[in-house]
Amino acid sequence: MRHATLRQLKVFEAIGRLRSVTRAAGELHLTQPTVSIQLKQLSDIVGLPLLEQIGKKLYLTQAGQELLNTCGVIFEQLARFEMLVSDLKGTKAGRLRLSVVTTAQYFIPRLLGRFFERYPGIEVALEVTNRGKVLQRLADNADDLYVLGQPPEHMNVQAESFLDNPLVVVAPHDHPLAGQRQIALPRLAEEYFLTREPGSGTRLAAENHFKDMGIDLKVRMELGSNEAIKLAVAGGLGLAVLSAHTLALEKNSDEITVLDVQGFPIRRQWYVLRPADKQLSIVAQTFLDFLRTESQAMARSYLPQIPAFMPADDVPDANERAMP
């Protein structure tokens, strides 16, 4: 193993993590033949096969699994050393890997913009995907930090709330309920609803909220994105429960309105997660500290109309709202 190069180890780590030569080549911006050659050279150095193919799937051999574990330790220590050197020089530099659910795309870029202004030497790799894939990346320890609206119950993680995530009921602007005050929840049972796909954190929270009130929603359609849901609401296909953050850049304000419903907004939180035993890099810790100090003020700058972001004295009927 003394002759193995860092490049060979990086190639193998990508293949072992992704279980695909093609995907590893794409991630590393190398050709597939180049990746295959590097893998073969490393296998020759080790003297044992590192991968085996069964059908169309790649599997790690025992030697391959041990080497993959070793690569993780090596690359993490190298990254920490690079960041430590930057810190000793009085600068913050390095690479931050973030994985966030799709709804977080409405505020994470805003936060990253401010973060880059303060720490221009830090690079960020941002993965935006659905909840299931974020949880898979968390299980694989593929990133430094993960942003979710609801921490998983079955995984050993550290979860810290950092930002309010109010859920509101939206309707077409000309809907009969628009403009009414303190709409009773049973009234909503008469309406059709549009929801995200099963497993969505927003959908889970909304379903649990209505279930606790003894109300079954009439779901007309499942859609794969918040943008599709907003367009469908504007088109009169039904109501929806969405994170208030998804309305921050809404250009169709004359087509969609937030209803004043008893028990809403549902007060939820955004969480930043990491494996329980994970030691954060200097860059990851810097971003975590930034989330703690900057996220709430940032959200107030573009969500002043949402009760969860308003001073308590300014919230209409604050004491009369039935909050979960």
> How do residues 195-242 score in pLDDT, each as one tens digit?
888 878 788 888 888 888 888 888 888 887 888 999 999 888 999 999
**pLDDT classification of 284: cutoffs 50, 70, 90:** confident
**pLDDT classification of 303: cutoffs 50, 70, 90:** low
**Token pair belonging to 314:** 């300014």
The pLDDT value recorded for residue 102 is 86
What CATH number is given for 167-266 in this structure? 3.40.190.10
Strands 122-129 and 94-101, how do they pair?
parallel
Residue type, 175: H
State how far the Cα of 303 lies from the Cα of 243, in Å rounded to an integer. 11
* Cis check: omega of the bond before 152, within 30 degrees of 0: no
User: What is the rounded (10 degree) CA torsion for 18, 22, 28, 33?
Assistant: 130
The ranges of the chain annotated as CATH 3.40.190.10 are 92-164+269-300, 167-266
The pLDDT value recorded for residue 72 is 84
**pLDDT classification of 123: cutoffs 50, 70, 90:** confident
Q: How much is the pTM?
A: 0.65
The pLDDT value recorded for residue 315 is 38
Look at residues 127, 156, 120, 118 and name the one whose alpha carbon lies nearest to residue 139: 156
Mean pLDDT of 306-322: 40
Q: Which residues of 266-304 are buried (b: 16+ CB within 10 A; e: fewer)?
A: bebbbbbbbeeebeebbbbebbbebbeebbeebbeebbe
In words, the CATH class of domain 92-164+269-300 is: alpha beta
Phi and psi at 214, nearest 5°, equal 75, 30
* C-alpha 233: how far from chain center: 24
Q: Residues 43-86: pLDDT tens digits?
A: 889 888 899 888 888 889 999 999 998 988 888 778 777 767 76
**pLDDT classification of 158: cutoffs 50, 70, 90:** very high
Q: Does domain 6-72 have CATH number 1.10.1060.10?
A: no
State how far the Cα of 253 lies from the Cα of 37, in Å rounded to an integer. 55
Over pLDDT 70: what percentage of the chain?
Answer: 87
Q: Number of H helices and number of E strands within the chain? A: 10, 12
